[in-house]
Amino acid sequence: MRKAQQRCVTRIVRGSEGRRQLGLSEVAGRRVRSVGMTTRERLHKLVDELSEPEADDALRYIAQRREDPTIAAFRDAPEDDEPVTAADEQALAEVHADRAAKVPRISYVEILREHGPR
């Protein structure tokens, strides 16, 4: 299944029916008017427009996301709230300096080729 890229210009408002988005969304190349529509309503509208093969791909994708223990571990992990250390700042500064100087990057494949697997 192609990765659905979503671009959305919205404003979230609260009303008697809960949160609603006002704006226009584009998901997988399809424009969806979302004025006054909840996320579930927009999802239902997109699902109704899917072809049978697209619907099958979407169903498998959603089921995998709900059942995969690795995805669940990342989804349920606490937010990383460790402070950035001086060593972290220095390492980031080195990376930014290398990128600015256009230092060639070494791919993981090249590292394996040179040093072999662990």
Confidence of residue 35 (pLDDT cuts 50, 70, 90): low
Q: Kindly tell me if the per-residue pLDDT of 29 is higher than 80.
A: no
Say if CB 34 and CB 42 are below 8 A apart. yes
Say if CB 39 and CB 47 are below 8 A apart. no
Dist CA 42 CA 4 (whole Å) = 14
Q: Kindly tell me if the per-residue pLDDT of 21 is higher than 60.
A: no
The end-to-end CA distance of the chain, in Å, is: 33
Name the pTM for this structure. Answer: 0.35
Q: Of the given ranges (13-22, 43-52, 60-69), which has the lowest mean pLDDT?
A: 13-22
Dist CA 92 CA 100 (whole Å) = 12
DSSP string for residues in 69-103: HHHHHHHHSPP--PPPPHHHHHHHHHHHHHHHTTP
pLDDT of residue 65: 82
Q: Kindly tell me if the per-residue pLDDT of 28 is higher than 80.
A: no
The ranges assigned to domains in the chain are: 86-115
pLDDT of residue 87: 95
